[in-house]
Amino acid sequence: MKRYLILPFIVLSLFTEFSYAANPIDECFNYKKAQDYQNAIQAGKMAVKLYPSNTDANYCLGASYLEVGELDLAITYLKKAEKYASKKSDLMWTYNLLGMAYYKKGMLEDALFYFNKALSLAKDLDDIDAEATLLNNIAVIYSYKGELNKALSYYEKSLSLKTDEKDKATTYSNIASIYNEQGNYQKAIEYFQKALDIYERYGDYHRYARVELKLGETYRRMKDYQNAEKYLLDGLTKIQKVGDKYWEGNAYKYLGWLYRDKGDKNLAKDYLNKALQIYTEIGASGKVNEVKNDLASLNTSQKLNKIIEAIKKLIEAIKKVIEAIFT
């Protein structure tokens, strides 16, 4: 069974059964596996045009759109894959990706609904690898909802079922995120580094870049701004090369937070506005609201600073007037 990993989730891919050469469905999966997502999308479009009712064609196109952060298009084609699926295994994989797409849109209950449907099918099929994958993905949702202990429990269950080292990297990264939220930054760095080491060994630079961005954000929280800037800028460069818009938006957001904390509020606004533009383009509504709030707080802070400076100048002027009167 082929498997592709997408942080913070693990993604299962359909195992295409077409054996003839130069089939656009095969091409779509091959390009996607090589992380050449634009060519995967082009092959997927051709596959859907030739085989509009084919589960694999719609799945691969939807999965490729998901990789570059085109969430609404991803959902459109994954819904078609769901419609045409005739096997439980196909449905399981499709539900998993739908869960991921809804998570990225900020629709957590919808994401949890699809992940649980996929988990039920994994248990029916006695697919231990898939069960481990889906336990990981459900944990991501609980983590995002702030239910950290519940999330950690799911991650530990997921790890206990995994035998493949590369699969473990995603869960290491997600456990690191839990420690991050708990303020245990050294432990977070330890687990992020475990994930980075594995991805580097396997040459998976897409996932490497995502973890690198998370590591940079951890250093920001620690106020180690030099390391934060180093990892965030390097992660941004890598993520731009693979064309992952969702994580490019995250990179801009993290950089906005970094420069806000360093006191460079104009640069912070520049990066946050870049994040807002990307999140709006890809339909990540939850992230749009988050960044709008960040920008509003930043603008309020700048206005407050201007008022404080004006008051200081006024006080100095009053002092000079008083001194002039009584001297």
pLDDT in tens, the chain (327 residues): 333 333 355 555 444 343 344 699 999 999 999 999 999 999 999 999 999 999 999 999 999 999 999 999 999 999 999 999 999 999 999 999 999 999 999 999 999 999 999 999 999 999 999 999 999 999 999 998 999 999 999 999 999 999 888 889 999 999 999 999 999 999 999 999 999 999 999 999 999 999 999 999 999 999 999 999 999 999 999 999 999 999 999 999 999 999 999 999 999 999 999 999 999 999 898 899 999 999 999 887 666 566 666 566 667 767 776 766 766
Q: Which of 138, 17, 169, 35 is nearest to 89 (CA)?
A: 17
Please answer whether residues 209 and 35 qualify as being in contact, where contact means their C-beta atoms are separated by less than 8 angstroms: no
Q: Which of 274, 303, 6, 310 is nearest to 140 (CA)?
A: 6
- Angstrom distances, CA of residue 97 to CA of 63, 102, 159, 295, 321: 7, 9, 20, 31, 70
What is 239-327's CATH number?
A: 1.25.40
Burial class (CB within 10 angstroms; exposed 0-12, middle 13-18, buried 19+) of 86: exposed
Domains in the chain: boundaries: 239-327
Burial class (CB within 10 angstroms; exposed 0-12, middle 13-18, buried 19+) of 103: buried
Residue 3: strand pairing partners: 12
